Amino acid sequence: MELFLIAHIAGRGVAIPADQVASVVDIGDVVAVPRAEPSVRGLAALRSRVVTVIDTGTALGLAPTPDAARRAVITQVDGHHYAILVDSLEDVAPFERLPLSSGLALNHGWASAATGLVERDGEPLLVLDLATILPVSAVQSAA
Amino acid sequence: MTVPTTRFGARMDDLLQDFIAETRETLEALSGEIVAWEAAPDDRARLDAIFRFVHTVKGSCGFLDLPRLGRLSHAAEDVLMAVREGKRVPDTALVDAVLAIVDRIGDLVEAIDGGMALDDSSEDLLIAALAPDAAPATQSAHVAVRTASRSVRLNVDLLDRMMSGMSDMVLARNELARRLRDTEGDPHVEAALERLSLTVADMRDTVTRTRMQKIEALFSALPRMVRDTAAELGKTVSLTIEGSDVELDREMIELIRDPLAHIIRNSVDHGIETPADRLAAGKPASGRLLVSARQAGNQILVEIEDDGRGIDVERIVAKAREHRLRTDAQIAAMDDAARLDLIFEAGLSSRDAVTAISGRGVGMDVVRANIEQTGGRIALTNQPGKGLRIVIHVPLTLSILSTIIVGVGTQRFALARQSIEEIVKVRGDQVRIDAIGDAVAVSVRGRRMPLVSLGALFGLGIGDPSTLVIVSTREGDYALGVDDVLDTEELVVKPASPQVMATGVYAGQTLPDSGLPMLLLDGAGIAAAAGLRFAPITIADTVDAEDVVPGVAALLFEDLDGHRRVLALAVIDRVEPVPTASICWSAGAMRLAVGEAIIPLHMVGDLADRTEVAVLRLTDGDSEMAYAIAEAIEIVTLPAHIAPARGTGPIAGVVMIAGEQVEVVDPYALFASEPVRPASRPVCLLHSDGSGWMETFLTPALEASGYRCVTRLGVDETAAIVLAMEDASIEPRVAPVVTLRRNRTGAGADDGSIYRYDRPALIEEIARRMMADPVVPPVCMAWPTTTAIGGRG
């Protein structure tokens, strides 16, 4: 059994492995980053730290997450902090990680971001790897 | 800090303290390794750790002049090297002997710190014990001397936590201020908040400063190190240091200290040849070493460039083969860069000779490891026979940058101040914006450069930029159009996430006091994103630099006699038209009246029937004169060749300018032949009574009236007037004396003294006495009654 944070992204329930979640916050004002990928919503201050805010909807190739969305999951990837915007959060609970069912045709960003399934009361939820939601940049792929 | 010669002792002291603290710390960290090595003498990693320690100690000793420590560490290093090379087996006797030396190094360091003498009789025994067939050395008793340290070494993590706590505090203060603004203000609360804000700002500065250091802290030790190293080797090396004021995180400075020292010693030892070899190779006898630091984007670059023999790549490759670090097939597959990189392999050396300076080229593996530890990298540019350039790149992480904040649309960005040449408003006639094809160029005072509108580039603004920031990059300069320049701020810049850096236009991110994140713009990145192409600038070879004499700028003008002449631009203060009525022949010379002052005028030819004439106002820094001309033509660069003039006079020679012979006016002769009256103000000598009243009260009042107040005369100064209190005795009189009295009413009618607070009377009296009693230059001057005024011979 593994701990997962259950969240709603783009209207769908997902399970985020709890070890990827640094904290869950409501972010403040977001400063735009001109010329960055559309999925980079901007920068926000989180205590004394600057986090890069990810428009999760756009990153998954779906409708952009509304500007009003403030709730975010903070994750740390390669020493940088990211705020992954979510629609809403439920609780943290242990689940059994299952492989993606064969024949499940995932589109958009779901295909690369989903790494498995969990079943909550019979409802299957995709396990989302937060690092793969981040837009892959030239810098990152070179590193 | 600014006067290296007088501070040198103190600096050496600092360096010694650093060395002691560092050695002590390494020893503590090493104690585990030592025990582990004792248990398993074949463990290569432990061996390397101990080797690195003695190697570092040896390096520092050479510089700090600690010969005993140097001898011990060198001996231990030799043995460990032999073990590394497989020439010796690390048996118990050897391990014991090395450990005895490591212990001894620790004792000596403590003794140095405590300022105590430590008997050196047993050191020969310790060294002898390292020999293959030596009897076990007798352990000397440990000397437990620990003195209270004058400084504390802090873990950088702690500073980091302090810094981040500080930022949180700033944000909390800001939030508090916001909340208070929304409520009815209680003045007491506001005053308390004000005090809190000041304290927080102060504290933030202090905490910030604890992390930052000028790279000078690193560079200041280099001249001595290079000199000593070179002297030991019988070489001469001229060292040039640039960019000492680049600020760097303290941690970074510590991390690159050793690598830099190793690289420089290697350069002097292995790179730069002996004077005889250099002459034979057609180079100047003295080697050149350039050490420079600069910031490029989000990195600090430290460059070490020598003009020595470079790296003999073939020899390194041969060594790698010999040591079986690479197979023949692997070597065959390597390109030149990969072969050069072999220098970074542990245990490889480019030289066979062992020297006390840099050992065997050992250290390059350590150097690279240390630099990579900072998240930096090291790059080599090898020119066999010509020199080697090593560039250390270290990240700008946590560096404090002096920035300006620019506004575009609703957003703000920071821009590093060092990349900014100037800021101009678009309004006004100095600036003209032209469309050239589909590009936009701007002319600022006649200088044309491309214009990049930040608003357009970032899709943030539609309006035309109102302010231009002239940004200078390595490739060229351009004007960055913004809506506004808002502020200057010192910022802690951190690297932004890869997704943000991928845009190529940012150098990092920061969290200013406003609590809103801000991006630091990368000037060069913006130029690239805007598609600017600069003509490649040829960078002059440093070796040739001294042969190239920069041209002297000069003003070409038509003189009153119709001839064209040139005069060096540096002596010309300005050109201005004056009415000929203000020029007259008086007291044996031509003079020009300028306001209340009279300055000498040089004139060739006559004024004829002009009513106005242009004059060049010349200055040598102290005195002024004028040179009447017919017309200024243009600014030219003087050719290097000047045909000397015959005879003496204010003409230095003749040059060819645009196919015409032009006389060069000699400013030296102009100033030397004219009895020039200094442009400086009359000197008022305050005969100080030691109470400080004269200096404090009189100086501002008199300076405002055009005098210069001194309490003692400089070597070439003459007092125009002396001011003294009524009870002072002044002999001899070097100038007219005005006496001041303390009481409002004088002792008698013919007293002649002035009440000291009667300013109009005082000023008038000074002027009157100066006129009535002109200065007689003193032959000799001595002040028997006072010590505040120095003598003059």
pLDDT digits (tens, 9 = 90+) for B266-286: 888 888 988 888 888 888 888
User: Which residue of chain B has the CA closest to A52?
Assistant: B497
Residue B457, min C-alpha distance to chain A (Å): 8
User: With bands split at pLDDT 50, 70 and 90, how would you rate the model's confidence at A20?
Assistant: very high
- pLDDT for residue B132: 74
Output the pLDDT for position B584. Answer: 78
**Res. B792: pLDDT tops 50:** no
Report the C-alpha gap between B326 and B328 in whole angstroms.
7
The percent of chain B in helix, strand and coil, each rounded to the nearest 5, is 35, 25, 35
pLDDT for position A26: 92
User: B529: which chain A residues are within 8 Å (Cβ-Cβ)?
Assistant: 35
From the candidates A80, A136, A140, which should be mutated to test the interface with B, based on the most B CB atoms within 10 A?
Answer: A80
| Mean of pLDDT values over B703-711 | 74
Specify the 3-state DSSP secondary structure of B238.
strand
CA distances (Å), A16 to each of A47, A104, A136, B53, in order?
23, 19, 20, 47
Whole-number Å distance between alpha carbons of B627 and B567 = 10
Q: What is the pLDDT of residue A85?
A: 94
**B572-579/B439-444 β-pairing:** unpaired
Backbone angles phi, psi at B269, to 5 degrees: -80, -55
Name the residue with higher pLDDT: B194 or A73. Answer: A73
> DSSP state, B538?
P
Residue B187, exposed/middle/buried by CB under 10 A (0-12, 13-18, 19+)?
exposed
User: What topology does CATH give the domain B550-673?
Assistant: OB fold (Dihydrolipoamide Acetyltransferase, E2P) (2.40.50)
**In the block, which residue shows the tokens 């009295």?**
B741
Q: Which amino acid does the sequence have at B657?
A: I
pLDDT at A94: 92
Q: Which residues of B touch A80 (CB under 8 A)?
A: 495-498
What is the spatial distance between Cα B404 and Cα B319, in angstroms, rounded to a whole number? 53
Does A50 contact B168 at a Cβ distance shorter than 8 Å? no
**pTM of the complete model beyond 0.95:** no
Q: Report the pLDDT averaged over residues B442-465.
A: 84
Taking CB atoms and an 8 Å limit, are B517 and A139 in contact across chains?
A: no
Helix (H) or strand (E) holding A117: strand A114-120
B714 token code pair: 């400089």
* Res B12 pLDDT > 80: no
**Å from B432 to nearest chain A CA?**
28
Put simply, the answer to whether B502 touches A36 (Cβ < 8 Å) is yes
Q: What is the pLDDT of residue A127?
A: 92
The pLDDT value given to residue B486: 85
Cβ of A139 within 8 Å of Cβ of B494? The answer is no
What is the least distance, in Å, from the CA of B170 to any CA of chain A? 9
Q: Which two tokens stand for residue B650?
A: 């204010």
From CA B42, how far away is CA B21, in angstroms rounded?
A: 30
End-to-end CA distance of chain A: 33
Q: How far apart, in whole angstroms, are the C-alpha atoms of residue B264 and residue B241? A: 12
- Report helix angle B44-64 to B222-232, nearest 10: 90
The DSSP code for B418 is G
Q: Judge whether A80 is closer than 8 Å to chain B, CB to CB.
A: yes
Confidence of residue B675 (pLDDT cuts 50, 70, 90): very low
Residue A132 forms contact with B (CB below 8 Å): no
Which residues does chain B have within 8 Å of residue A84's beta carbon, measured at their own beta carbons? none
Residue A1 in contact with partner chain B when CB distance is under 8 A:
no
Distance, in Å, from the CA atom of A36 to the CA atom of B33, rounded to the nearest integer, reads 48
Whether A139 sits inside 8 A of B459 (CB atoms) is no
CA angle B268, B274, B277 (to 5 degrees): 130
The rounded distance, in Å, linking the Cα atoms of B152 and B154 is: 6
DSSP codes of every residue in B482-525: ESEEEEEEEEEEEPPPHHHHTTSSEEEEE--TTSS-EEEE-HHH
- Amino acid making up residue B446: G
Q: Is the CB of B519 less than 8 angstroms away from the CB of A33?
A: yes
- Say whether pLDDT at B5 is over 70: no
Lookup: tokens for B76 = 């231990």
Spatial CB neighbours of B473, under 8 Å, sequence gap ≥ 6: B419, B523, B524, B527, B534
Q: What is the pLDDT of residues B571-620, one digit of tens each?
A: 887 777 888 888 877 766 778 887 777 888 888 777 777 788 888 888 77
Cβ-nearest to A31 among B171, B498, B517: B517
* pLDDT of amino acid B539: 33
DSSP H or E run through A114: strand A114-120
The candidate with the shortest Cα–Cα distance to B340, out of B362, B320, B324, is B320
CA distance B503 to chain A (A): 6
C-alpha span between B169 and B172 (Å, rounded):
5
Cβ–Cβ < 8 Å for B321, B345? no
Distance of CA B408 to the CA centre of its chain: 33
Whether the CB of A10 is below 8 Å from some CB of chain B: the reply is no
Chain B residues bordering chain A (beta-carbon distance below 8 Å): 163-168, 171, 411, 457-460, 494-506, 509-511, 515-519, 529
DSSP 8-state class, residue A31: B
Q: What is the pLDDT of residue A73?
A: 94
Q: How far is B193 from B434, CA to CA, in rounded Å?
A: 51
Question: A10: burial class by Cβ within 10 Å (0-12, 13-18, 19+)?
Answer: buried
Residue of chain A nearest B166, judged by CA positions: A48
Q: Measure the CA–CA gap between B274 and B269, rounded to whole angstroms.
A: 9
DSSP, collapsed to helix, strand or coil, labels residue B570 as: helix
Classify residue A103 by burial, with Cβ atoms within 10 Å: 0-12, 13-18, 19+: exposed
- Predicted confidence (pLDDT) per residue in A84-121, tens digit: 999 999 889 999 998 887 667 777 778 888 888 898 88
For chain B, say whether A59 makes contact (Cβ under 8 Å).
Answer: no
**Under an 8 A CB cutoff, do B500 and A52 touch?**
yes
The distance of A121 to chain B (nearest Cα, Å) reads: 37
**CA angle centred on B137, ends B131 and B142, rounded to 5°:** 130
Chain CA centroid to CA B378, Å: 23
- Of B56, B97, B54, the C-alpha closest to B73 is B54
Cβ B517–A138 below 8 Å, yes or no? no
Q: Rounded to a whole number, what is the distance in Å from the CA of B167 to chain A's nearest CA?
A: 5
Interval B135-160 mean pLDDT: 59
C-alpha distances in Å from residue B766, one per residue of A39, B232, B415: 78, 64, 54
- Interface probe for A, chosen from B493, B500, B505, B516 (most Cβ of A below 10 Å), is B500
Give the fold, CATH level 3, of B683-772. Answer: Rossmann fold (3.40.50)
Give the ranges where B267-327 is alpha helix by DSSP (H). Answer: 275-280, 313-322
Reported as type and span, the H/E element at residue B556 is strand B552-558
Which of A27, A29, A37, A50 should be substituted to probe chain B, the one whose Cβ sees the most B Cβ atoms within 10 Å? A50
Q: In 3D, which of B756, B598, B602, B739 has the Cα closest to residue B671?
A: B602
pLDDT in tens, B505-536: 998 888 877 778 999 998 888 988 888 877 54
3-state secondary structure at position B368: helix
Instruction: Please give the DSSP secondary-structure letter assigned to residue B563.
Output: -
- Which amino acid is it at B626? A
Q: How many CB atoms lie within 10 A of CB B125?
A: 15
| Per-state percent for chain A, helix, strand, coil, to nearest 5 | 15, 45, 40
Which residues from chain A sit within 8 angstroms of residue B497, using beta carbons? 52, 80-82
The answer to whether A139 contacts B164, with C-beta atoms less than 8 Å apart, is no
Q: How far is B185 from chain A (nearest CA, A)?
A: 26
For tokens 């280099």, name the residue: B222
> Which CATH number does A2-142 carry?
2.40.50.180
Element (H, E) at B232: helix B222-232
The whole-number average pLDDT for the span B220-242 is 87
Q: Hey, are the CB atoms on B503 and A29 less than 8 Å from each other?
A: no
Chain B CA closest to residue A27: B516
Q: Note the pLDDT of residue A114.
A: 85
User: Inter-chain contact B497–A80, Cβ cutoff 8 Å?
Assistant: yes
pLDDT at B396: 62
Q: Where are the domains of chain B?
A: 4-128, 158-212, 216-395, 399-529, 550-673, 683-772
Q: Which residues pair with B69 in a beta bridge?
A: none
Average model confidence (pLDDT) across chain B:
76
Verify whether the Cβ–Cβ distance A34 to B458 is below 8 Å: yes
List the CATH code of the domain at B216-395.
3.30.565.10
CB contact (8 A) between residue A45 and residue B515: yes
A48 CB neighbour count, 10 Å cutoff: 17
Residue B726 predicted with pLDDT over 80: no
Q: Is the pLDDT of residue B224 over 60?
A: yes
Contacts of B44 (CB under 8 A, 6+ apart): none
> Which of B200, B494, B499, B503 should we substitute to test contact with A (largest number of A Cβ atoms within 10 Å)?
B499
Q: Is A104 on the interface with B (CB under 8 A)?
A: no
For chain B, the straight-line distance linking the first and the last C-alpha, in angstroms and rounded, comes to: 34
Q: Which amino acid is at B92?
A: T
Instruction: Give the H or E element holding residue B526.
Output: helix B523-529
**How far apart are the C-alpha atoms of B9 and B2, rounded to whole Å?**
14
Q: Name the CATH code of domain B399-529 (choices 3.90.76.10, 3.30.420.40, 3.30.413.10, 2.30.30.40).
A: 2.30.30.40
Q: What is the DSSP letter of B183?
A: S
For A48, the closest of B457, B458, B511 (CB atoms) is B511
Tokens of B578: 């004056």
Q: What is the pLDDT of residue B220?
A: 85
8 A C-beta contact, residue B48 and residue B81: no
- Give the pLDDT band (50/70/90) at residue B346: low
- Residues in chain B with CB shorter than 8 Å from the CB of A43 are 496, 500, 509, 517, 519
Q: How far is CA B233 from CA B264, B358, B706, in A?
A: 14, 11, 60
- Using an 8 Å Cβ cutoff, are B439 and B453 in contact? no
Closest CA of chain B from A93, distance in Å: 30
**Minimal CA–CA distance to A137: which of B495, B502, B507?**
B502
Other residues' Cβ atoms within 10 Å of the Cβ of residue B425: 11
Q: Is B325 exposed, middle or buried (0-12, 13-18, 19+ CB in 10 A)?
A: middle
Q: How far is A2 from chain B (nearest CA, A)?
A: 29
ipTM of the complex in this document: 0.91
- Among the partner residues A28, A35, A50, nearest to B503 by beta-carbon distance: A35
**Is it true that domain B4-128 has CATH number 3.30.413.10?**
no
Residue of A nearest to B513 (CA): A48
- Other C-beta atoms lying within 10 Å of the C-beta of residue B240: 12
CB pair distance less than 8 Å for B498 and A32: no
Q: How confident is the model at residue A52 (pLDDT cuts 50, 70, 90)?
A: very high
A48 to B499: CB separation less than 8 angstroms, yes or no: no
Closest in A37, A44, A45 to B499, CB measured? A37
The Cα–Cα gap between B538 and A133 comes to: 45
Range of lowest pLDDT (A48-62, B301-315, B662-676): B662-676
Give how far the C-alpha of residue B151 lies from the chain's centroid of Cα atoms, to the nearest Å.
26
Rounded Cα distance between B212 and B229, Å, is 29
Would the CB atoms of A31 and B494 count as touching at under 8 Å?
A: no
Average pLDDT over residues B782-788: 35
Residue of B497, B510, B513 to mutate for A, most A C-beta atoms under 10 A:
B497
Interface A-B: count of C-beta contacts within 8 A: 89
E-assigned strands of B603-702? 612-619, 624-629, 631-638, 643-644, 651-657, 660-665, 683-687
